[in-house]
Amino acid sequence: MTSTVDGAPIVVVANHDVTLENAGTLLTTGVTQTVRVNQGTTCATIKNAATGRIEAAPRGVNFVGTYEVLNNDGVIIGTGSQRNGTVDADGTANNFTLNNIIVMDAGVAGSAVPLQLGTADGDVRSCTAVNDGTLA
């Protein structure tokens, strides 16, 4: 199954303890991310299965919450010039985990996984990134 939206995220996680499981294709066109985990959200888990594909021109997955987990066994790919990265964690994200088994690809231009930890001097942020696949 393919879900396509133009100019808006397909999934917005705005509650605590949410799990998103994707085994199909999530595709956003335009200037937004495909999956967004909102600031203030805690303990969201995104599972992209081996058959799962997340595509976006600017960002496939955008984290701004706390204690978030992304388990990628499929493909997360940029289809345009990545605004921040295919999988992006901004300065408000904290204690997040990225597990990549297959592919996270920036596509045309940009970074596969840029990590911005903290927004000001003295900010304490953490993340764990495990790559057993390909970051391109």
pLDDT in tens, 34-78: 898 988 899 999 999 999 999 988 889 988 889 999 999 999 998
**Helix, strand, or coil here: 50?**
coil
Confidence of residue 136 (pLDDT cuts 50, 70, 90): confident
**Tokens of residue 37, six digits:** 């985990």
Task: Give the full edge-to-edge strand order of the sheet including 25-29.
Answer: 2-6, 25-29, 53-56, 75-78, 103-105, 134-135
Q: Mean pLDDT over residues 106-130, rounded?
A: 82
Window from 89-103, 104-118, 119-133 with minimum mean pLDDT: 104-118
Quick one: pLDDT at residue 131?
92
Quick one: pLDDT at residue 130?
93
Rounded to the nearest integer, the mean pLDDT of the chain is 87
Confidence of residue 3 (pLDDT cuts 50, 70, 90): low
Report whether pLDDT(23) > 90. Answer: yes
- pTM equals 0.88
Residues with Cβ within 8 Å of 96's Cβ and at least 6 positions away in sequence, in order, are 63, 65, 66, 67, 68, 69, 70, 89, 127, 128
Q: Mean pLDDT over residues 93-113, rounded?
A: 87
Report whether pLDDT(30) > 80. Answer: no
